[in-house]
Amino acid sequence: MTTQTTSNPLSQEQLDFFRANGFLHIPGLIPAHELEAAQKDTEELIRRGLDEQLDDPNYCYGADASDQDRQCLFRLNNLISHFGNDSFKMLLAYPPLLRAIGQAVGGDHFVPSLHSCVFKIPHRGYPVPWHQDTTAVHRFPVFNVDVYLDEATTDNGCLYVIPGSHLAGHHGSQEWVESWTQGKEHDAPGAIPVVTKPGDVIFHATTVLHGSFWNRSDSMRRTIYFHIDHLQDVNLRPEEKRNMERYLSGQKMTADAIALRRANRPEEEAFDFKLV
């Protein structure tokens, strides 16, 4: 039985839970001091786009839940390739996080290929309805790593999941989604909230039905997302959908982030990341 160690942050029970349920909540994986710089940088980036809608495709806006005529900032894309803050690279390269991802993919080569910050503004947050992510899966697991910079509660728009829904495979149509949710939101059949603290991490399979609803509280909810591609899945995709360019780009960003962290944390055992 796999136990939690420095080299193996996840136990076999956690890995089995992830496979069976399509999500895994890992409390306290990242300590508070590792979050501080990313918290500061995301706060500054978000503030830039709050007062006026920026002409920048990496700033994502949608209709506000409480006022459809008002645009609401809800996401920053390309945290590393566009914004490039060292804080995001240092967080990505945190060794226990990468080791946990490595366990989840069974030791296969992987890259965090997309890096975003998703957030919900107090009393305004953009709701995300029930969905599967668009990525078709050829070999489990393809998943997102959600690093929580703030507490997430049922009041401020935490993640909801329907455990086990990933086992039905990738569908994505609205009719299929509603066959599970019956058109409901947080009260959909089988839905559970995943309440988190800062430093908690959630792995959620792209095919698990998930959503988050609007923020009715006074608190901000920020989450950094790293989308994980792994080589066995990529190689099984049809050639026209393989997107090795994205994989190789993610590989370079990961290697550069690890090099930055090694330079800043020479006392730390860096994640052993190999190039393909």
Per-residue pLDDT, 247 = 95
Per-residue pLDDT, 67 = 79
Residue in the block written with tokens 């996840």: 10
Residue 37 has which token pair?
């710089």
pTM: predicted TM-score of the whole model, two decimal places: 0.95
Domain ranges of the chain: 22-264
Return the CATH fold of 22-264: Jelly Rolls (2.60.120)
The candidate with the shortest Cα–Cα distance to 139, out of 71, 52, 222, 205, is 205
Per DSSP, the three-state class of 146 is strand
Per-residue pLDDT, 71 = 87
Per-residue pLDDT, 2 = 43
Contacts of residue 69, Cβ cutoff 8 Å, sequence gap at least 6? 63
Tell me how far CA of residue 93 lies from CA of 35, 89, 167, in angstroms.
12, 6, 30
The candidate with the shortest Cα–Cα distance to 118, out of 177, 58, 165, is 58
Low-confidence ranges of the chain (pLDDT < 70): 1-6
Give the separation between CA 261 and CA 259, rounded to whole angstroms: 5
Per-residue pLDDT, 1 = 37
Give the separation between CA 268 and CA 6, rounded to whole angstroms: 12
Residue 79 has which token pair?
């945290």
pLDDT in tens, 70-117: 889 999 999 999 999 999 999 999 999 999 999 999 999 999 999 999
